[in-house]
Amino acid sequence: MSIGAEFSVEEREEGGTRVVLSGPWLVSTIGAIDQDLRALQGDYSTIDLTHIEEIDTVGAWTICALVRDHGGEIIGASDRAQRLINAVQGFTSQEPIQPEVLPIWQRVPALVGKEVVGWAKGTLDVIGFLGQIVMASGSLLLHPGRFRFRALVRQMELVGVSALGIVGLMSFLIGIVIAQQGAVQLQQFGAEALTVNLVGRITLRELGVLMTAIMVAGRSGSAFAAQIGTMKLTEEVDAMRTIGISPVEALVIPRILASVLMMPLLGFYSAVVAIIGGAVIADLTLGIPFFTFLTRIKEVVPLYDLYVGMIKAPVFGLIVALSGCYQGMQVQGNSEQVGLRTTMAVVQAIFAVIVLDAFFAVFFTEIGWG
Amino acid sequence: MSEEDTATAETRHLARYRGDYPIVVDGLVNRFGSQTVHEDLSLKVRRGEIIGVVGGSGTGKSVLMRSIIGLQHPSEGSIEVFGRSITDAEPDQNLGVRSRWGVLFQGGALFSTLTVGENVEVPLRQFYPDIEDELLHEIARYKVMLSGLPEEAVSKYPSELSGGMKKRAGLARALALDPELLFLDEPTAGLDPIGAAAFDRLTRELKETLGLTVFLITHDLDTLHEICDRVAVLADKQVIAVGTIEELLALDHPWIQEYFNGPRGRAALASKERSSMDKQPKAGA
């Protein structure tokens, strides 16, 4: 038994050319001779399949292509070969395997246009979404019995309580880094005692809330988008509507409220843990005793630093929850969308939080809370 | 067998299976935690037949298929496909049987980032990297059309196809390597009756032209009546009976009786009788 597919071309005495195919003509053996077959020239009178040992549809297809390009009558085909050739011979097609791609000078403007239209539509959608939330809040105020208290508590647990570990660890490490790196720089002026001011003010004013918002965006904002998005895909949201439950009331409001309520708590907790982290490193490397550090905090950090942080926190919570829920509600079609929308929820939330934080910083300094 | 021998055995083309039973399952046990799905299950599939596997929900039809194709390692028992043991092999070991079966998963399981044509090319590229692109594209095109899709479908993405077309595209990919053995997991589920009947006809035609052995999991009584040569019934953690529908009806098992003699079973039987009566005059002419 021969190993590969083979063919030979012979001139016949009575005129005409005969191609004799032999060996196994299978998907596993055709690859080796395909190029040689395509290189053949001229017309043939007969194609002899008598010596073909085994054949599958790929072999049959190749024989059909041979007949199509060079003519010739098939002889000596076994039952199976004939059946397979009959099955595949009608299927000639030049359809490209990949959809045609527009040339780049058409594609780029088209994409830009799509983006612009997408932005415009997105802006309108966001306004519409905000309107829905306002309406749902209004109707909840009128019918407080419809408020989903259990859902709110559940979301508060997910957003707040279960984030304590990771937010605490992150804040503790940030406190250590600020204190240690700050002390290195301040030592150059002999002012390492000011490390206390640095750690206390920066964590209460800025980093505690900002880092927590980023963490909540990553943990909860993404979860909101994925949960609501999956519920849209499985038509749970539609089912709610048909029963007369407003998805905004049932899904969005509890999540937004939970984030708005938990963010100040988490932000404060984060600042406290960061200060403890700073105190620990100060005790170990700067020779400032742990409790002295904490007492000094009380003296050097003005109370309005706390207010600044606590005013920003619920706003950040609102932004994170809004973008998560909004993106979740925008999911349509397939599971790929869930991933896409989840990513967008997190990216938008973090971006908006940082931009807003910059505005807040300027604003509070201007009103004298510097 | 030395390592060298194995290597040549893999690269050489594999002769068609000539034995009687391409699938032999013996004493299969599948447990998930404390739950036993299969207990001492045995089944032999004959070459060239369409075997329908039926059973209530949760009787482990899909688990049985996954065990046979090596996706699920059974707790005990042995499975041989084309005379090679699946159960003794490592999960990723090259047994030389993967290129000889095709699997159609329930949802089609098409790769969503590739077009239908590219989906069909994936197994070809994987097993036969020496095939040139030109031939590869030609193969993909005729396989897609062989599966009953229009030629434009080749360049479409799975998300642009309807459920029935996805199944056909999945079938085209399952047929990419000219397998001898075809696994179909509920191929007609979710199709409209016309689409389901067309898919049944296609399965039958492909089986006859390509000489396939088909392992078919189904709930569709019409499919069982129309195209299955034998039916295996899964119940009580075992294959309780294998045979033609007539043979099964003669048995006295309550589940089998309810399955085939329930209102749906009788309706399917009646439509089968009608369609065979329709065929007879033609056969005589």
- CA atoms of A289 and A280, how far apart (whole Å): 8
Do residue A32 and residue B140 have CB atoms under 8 angstroms apart? Answer: no
Closest CA to B43 of B78, B9, B86: B78
Specify the pairing of strand B50-55 against strand B230-235: parallel
Taking the Cβ of residue B139 and every Cβ of chain A, the question of whether any pair is shorter than 8 Å is answered with yes
- CA atoms of B111 and B168, how far apart (whole Å): 14
Secondary-structure class of domain B16-284 per CATH = alpha beta
* ipTM for this prediction: 0.76
A334: nearest CA partner in chain B: B159
At position B212, the amino acid (one-letter code) is: L
Pair B104, B182: CB distance under 8 Å: yes
Tens of pLDDT, residue by residue over A67-92, are 888 888 888 888 888 888 888 887 77
- CA atoms of B49 and B208, how far apart (whole Å): 9
Q: Per-residue confidence at B285, pLDDT binned at 50, 70, 90? A: very low
Residues sharing a CB contact under 8 Å with residue A51, sequence separation 6 or more, in sequence order: A20, A21, A22, A23, A76
Tens of pLDDT, residue by residue over B58-116, are 888 888 998 888 888 888 888 888 888 888 777 666 667 888 888 998 878 888 888 89
Q: What is the pLDDT of residue B240?
A: 87
Among residues of chain A, what percentage have pLDDT more than 70? 99
Specify the pairing of strand A17-25 against strand A6-11: antiparallel
Q: What is the pLDDT of residue B129?
A: 85
Q: What is the pLDDT of residue B162?
A: 85
- CA atoms of B21 and B80, how far apart (whole Å): 9
At position B210, the amino acid (one-letter code) is: L
A5 phi-psi bin (left φ>0, alpha ψ -120 to 50, beta other): beta
Q: Name the burial class of residue A94, with classes exposed (0-12), middle (13-18) and buried (19+) by CB atoms within 10 angstroms of its CB.
A: exposed
Hey, where are the domains in chain A?
A: 6-88, 148-366
- The Cα of B129 is separated from the nearest Cα of chain A by a number of Å equal to 8
Q: What is the pLDDT of residue B4?
A: 41
Higher pLDDT, A90 or A202: A202
Tens of pLDDT, residue by residue over A95-109, are 788 888 888 899 999
Hey, where are the domains in chain B?
A: 16-284
At position B225, the amino acid (one-letter code) is: H
State whether residue B262 is helix, strand or coil: coil
Taking the Cβ of residue A69 and every Cβ of chain B, the question of whether any pair is shorter than 8 Å is answered with no
Pair B56, B219: CB distance under 8 Å: no
Chain B residues touching A339 at Cβ < 8 A: none
Q: What is the pLDDT of residue A86?
A: 83
- Architecture, CATH, for domain A6-88: 2-Layer Sandwich (3.30)
Taking the Cβ of residue A79 and every Cβ of chain B, the question of whether any pair is shorter than 8 Å is answered with no
Chain A residues touching B132 at Cβ < 8 A: 31, 34-35
How far, rounded to the nearest angstrom, does the alpha carbon of residue A158 sit from its chain's CA centroid?
A: 21
For the question of whether the overall pTM of this predicted structure is more than 0.90, the answer is: no
Taking the Cβ of residue B177 and every Cβ of chain A, the question of whether any pair is shorter than 8 Å is answered with yes
Q: What is the pLDDT of residue B5?
A: 42
Q: What is the pLDDT of residue B282?
A: 47
Of A28, A56, A87, which is closest to B128 when you measure between CB atoms?
A28
Taking the Cβ of residue B99 and every Cβ of chain A, the question of whether any pair is shorter than 8 Å is answered with yes
- The Cα of B229 is separated from the nearest Cα of chain A by a number of Å equal to 21
The sign of the torsion formed by the CA atoms of B245, B250, B252, B257 equals: positive
Pair A309, A204: CB distance under 8 Å: yes
Taking the Cβ of residue B121 and every Cβ of chain A, the question of whether any pair is shorter than 8 Å is answered with yes
- The DSSP string of B36-60 is EEEEEEEEEE-TT-EEEEEE-TTSS
3-state helix, strand, coil in chain A (%, to 5): 75, 10, 20
- The Cα of B172 is separated from the nearest Cα of chain A by a number of Å equal to 12
Q: What is the pLDDT of residue A130?
A: 93
Structure tokens at A271: 């600042």
Residue of A78, A95, A98 to mutate when probing chain B, most B C-beta within 10 A = A95
Chain B residues touching A333 at Cβ < 8 A: 159
For the segment A150-160, the average pLDDT, to the nearest whole number, is: 94
Question: B155 to each of A94, B140, B151, B161, how far by Cα in Å?
Answer: 11, 10, 9, 11
- CA atoms of A200 and B70, how far apart (whole Å): 60
Reply yes or no on whether the pLDDT at B33 is more than 90: no
Q: What is the pLDDT of residue B284?
A: 42
Taking the Cβ of residue B18 and every Cβ of chain A, the question of whether any pair is shorter than 8 Å is answered with no
CA dihedral A54, A56, A61, A64 (to 10 degrees): 40
Question: B185 to each of A7, A35, A43, B102, how far by Cα in Å?
Answer: 40, 38, 46, 11
Reply yes or no on whether the pLDDT at B229 is more than 80: yes
- CA atoms of B257 and B263, how far apart (whole Å): 11
For the segment B125-149, the average pLDDT, to the nearest whole number, is: 87
Reply yes or no on whether the pLDDT at A219 is more than 90: yes
Taking the Cβ of residue B16 and every Cβ of chain A, the question of whether any pair is shorter than 8 Å is answered with yes
